Structure 1
Amino acid sequence: MRKVLFVFCILGLLLSCSSDDSKINSSLIGTWRISEINNDPGYGSGVFRKIKSDKTLVFKHDNEITSNGSLCENTTVSDSPSSGTFEINENSTTSGTIRPSGCNPGLSNPMLSIHFEIKESILFVYYPCIEGCAAKYVKQ
């Protein structure tokens, strides 16, 4: 009787465990270095420009993201460490939202959301701005 009870307890524990990491695409986890930036000056005329910068984003298995630069804005500066969290979109394994900590998004937007997606092994990060603001990152 004890063995049967023990088996049911173990089975119950195993079945009740779930993994939130199952949605995280393993290709997202790791270090990404910025390679191109687009800060559209208006009228949709902006294009991505290749840049040299040490700015990186590090996506971790526990849904934490860190950077050696600002997560709050589309910049190439790599001397202002920041962090936040990220989540994967409901029906995707390659796109989601970054929620940086310590940003000052303003009264109309108390929680800054930055959208991202992986296309053809390139990480696109879309920053909120009036025109188009985005950056491309390559996996290290």
Structure 2
Amino acid sequence: MEKETSKLRSVGTQITQLCGFKIGSGHYSVPVLDVQEVIKPQTVTPVPLSPNYVRGLINLRGQIVTSISLRTLFGLPESNSEDYMNIIVRSGDSLYALIVDEILDVIDVDTRTFEKTPETLDDKIRKYIGGVYKQEKRLLILLDLNKILNIEN
């Protein structure tokens, strides 16, 4: 009987894992399956005439990686801190480093707590958000990596 009860409790529950991080005071995430690794700050080579959110290029064990400042992309002021982190994600054959303020944890979230992006948000930021997960003490914003990595004005 106990086994049947636990089976019933798990019906309809679907857990997904997200890599959580902070940008300013906001809590954001990307799917763990899209993350190759998390690394400390690297030497960045600036690229002339690149968009302001492209910090430059980094050399990651022989692979060239485009470094993207999510703060700049989201219109937030730059941080003076050198304690930022890079989340390395892959899109096709290319690697990207998403610059974030702080890495949180890998977070297990129940997909039933997922909400669509509110229509009330400005389209400038709304297009980069895949949705929002409700947690006990805060909201966790899920970023849409496809939109972030294929940025068009």
**Which is higher, the Rg of structure 1 or of structure 2?**
1
Q: Does TM, normalized by the shorter one, top 0.5?
A: no
What is the TM-score of this pair, normalised by structure 2?
Answer: 0.27
**Higher share in helix:** 2
**Higher share in strand:** 2
What is the TM-score of this pair, normalised by structure 1?
Answer: 0.29
